[in-house]
Amino acid sequence: QVHLQESGPGLVRPSQTLSLTCTVSGGSINRGSYYWSWIRQPAGKGLEWIGHMYPSGSTNYNPSLKSRATISGDTSKNQFSLNLSSVTAADTAVYYCAREHEVFFKLDFWGHGILVSVSS
């Protein structure tokens, strides 16, 4: 059974960079067949896909984030990370990491989510 756990600061100042880490157990992020993804949900709103990375290092991002997002992996720790730059209050959300199947792009294992608030 794959388990994912988000970690990082719960409060980020406006204009700073939001940095989160997802620790994966029960499966290697270096194994093919899966992407490793970040998704967020602002309070009272729906799910928004942020982006994903593949073991090869290739990445894709939601164009609406205007190049503010960067996803990278650390295979030695079996972790992957999200950096979101120049944050504003609109980036306040619950952030989830998830495993994404490469064939049907179904997000089949998720972390519990971490609330990140952007406020001065």
**What residue ranges bind another protein (CB under 8 A)?**
37, 46-49, 52, 60, 62-64, 96, 98, 100-101, 104-108, 110-113
With a CB cutoff of 8 Å and minimum separation 6, the contacts of 8 are 18, 19, 20, 21, 95, 114, 116
Tokens linked to 94:
């619950």
Cβ-based nearer residue to another protein, 9 or 105? 105
Cβ-based nearer residue to another protein, 19 or 48? 48
* Closest alpha carbon to 61 in 50, 48, 76, 74: 50
Least separation, in Å, of the C-beta of 47 and another protein? 4
Least separation, in Å, of the C-beta of 9 and another protein? 21
